[in-house]
Amino acid sequence: MPPSAIIQPLTSWTFWAWVLATAHVALQVALAWRVIMQRRPTGESLAWVMVIFGFPIVGPLAYLTIGELRLGRRRAKRFVELYPPIRKWLAELPQRSLVDWSRLSPEFESLSQLGQSLIGVPSLRGNHVELINDWQHVFARLIADIDAAQRTCHLEFYIWSNGGEADKVGDALVEAASRGVVCRVLVDALGSRAFLKSEQAARLRQAGVHVQAALPGGLLRAPFVRFDLRLHRKIVAIDGRVAYTGSLNLVDPRFFKKDAGVGEWVDAMVRIEGPAVEALAITFLADWFVETNSDLSELQATGDAHPQPSRGDCTVQVMPSGPALATDAVEQMLITAIYAAREELVLTTPYFVPSEPLSLALIAAARRGVKVILVIPARVDSLLVRFASGAFKGDMLRAGVRIMLFSDGLLHTKSITVDGSYSLFGSVNLDPRSMRLNFEILLALYDPEFTGELRELQQHYIDRSHMMDLARYQRRPQLRRIGENFARLLSPLL
């Protein structure tokens, strides 16, 4: 074979390789420019630039898949349609349940004003809030309320997992639907994937229960909808009269994720009666409207979201969050509460991967003399979170934060108490996903009595934990340190 016959294919191959390499670099530069011009948090921007340039092909592909908050054209349109009636409803709320801040601490009012300016939902007085700290009691109360329902049963969860008490909830919904109660179930398409394909879901639909998947994904939808945006809320509203929220998914801990090696999941919920129920009911109906083809006027007529009479003395602010709302609203609320602490700050969360502002707020609180106690599980079910979290623990320990490692299962309760006087409670983890990507629900409870009960529960968790030792932490293997530091670089994207 003559040399020219060999040189010609090589020259052609070299040319196309050069074209592809140039196109790839141009794509990397274009994506990095897009990241910079979107003015995201600095840590998130730098992490994405590192991924785009540090991982050829995979990095740009990852950004194109999960790099931007794409809700999808239809869902975005539904949100736009939803805004006018929601604004009208929000304008009416203060007239129904004015809070007399002179009877409460002045700092409560400023935090409430922040939440209202960020999310638009005012604080509502006159609620009876019951903290339920064990899953058996939650299911017993929930099933009893469904059995007593006369008009509507609305359930919204990230995960519905079949088995045990969760099946009894399904039985109660089937019975409720048989007597004419409108039953709607909204679950995350990814978190509840097995349930949605199960005989239980088919049985519910056959009985007349409306079962809807939220935020469905898939390869065909990936270019148009970001698949890892998740509905992480846990909300139940029954007859517009009673509501539940907190950290417990619709799962029986005796059967859920038994092969994860972390033990039973430990959760808490609140049961609410009073004006705040309307806000939770509206949140559910808004999510249902966005994910279905329901007519808004029909939901307003059949959704049981209506004013409730005073049932107690607790002032509650309901704060839904998510990519369609102010993306940093929850983080601003948390950071403001941390800086407002004067004596004691207790936080419980299963996943601790703080942003830089949140990390600095906790460190500053500890260094100015606030007793900061962070209660987290000794073992979590996510390897990447485990490594990323480990990278932050040293800074916390050196600043004087007391890190308690809960060793009696996976502590899943998300709660914050500030000076024993007010608290934050709901579905929000202390990680970037909860702050920016998930649709979450957070309650601010401006009530020393409830906060005292929550603080007792936190103490119960502390008593079942052991304190993390700085000296032992510093002796961890070098390979683990390297893994943690690399995971920390990616933590803004988790």
Active centre residues (catalytic): 232, 234, 239, 412, 414, 419
Polymer length in residues for the chain: 494
Q: Which of 212, 232, 229, 237 is nearest to 291 (CA)?
A: 212
DSSP string, 335-401: HHHHHH-SSEEEEE-S-B---HHHHHHHHHHHHTT-EEEEEEESS-S-HHHHHHHHHHHHHHHHHT-
Please count the other Cβ atoms lying within 10 Å of the Cβ belonging to residue 490. Answer: 16
Q: Which of 239, 260, 309, 194 is nearest to 410 (CA)?
A: 260
- Rounded to whole angstroms, the Cα distance separating 429 from 491 reads 14
Q: Which helix (H) or strand (E) holds 126?
A: strand 124-132
Beta strands in 172-313 (DSSP E): 182-188, 210-214, 235-238, 242-246, 265-266, 269-273
Amino acid identity of residue 470, one-letter, is L
- Rounded to whole angstroms, the Cα distance separating 258 from 260 reads 6
Cβ pair 441, 317 in contact under 8 A: no
Question: Do the bridges between strand 344-348 and strand 414-418 make them parallel or antiparallel, or are there none, so unpaired?
Answer: antiparallel
Both tokens of 413, joined, read 């309760």
Residue showing tokens 């140039």: 22
Cβ pair 387, 361 in contact under 8 A: no
Q: What is the DSSP letter of 241?
A: T
Cβ pair 494, 66 in contact under 8 A: no
- Rounded to whole angstroms, the Cα distance separating 144 from 68 reads 43
Q: Which of 353, 434, 445, 450 is nearest to 392 (CA)?
A: 353
Q: What is the DSSP letter of 231?
A: B
Q: Which of 289, 281, 226 is nearest to 441 (CA)?
A: 281
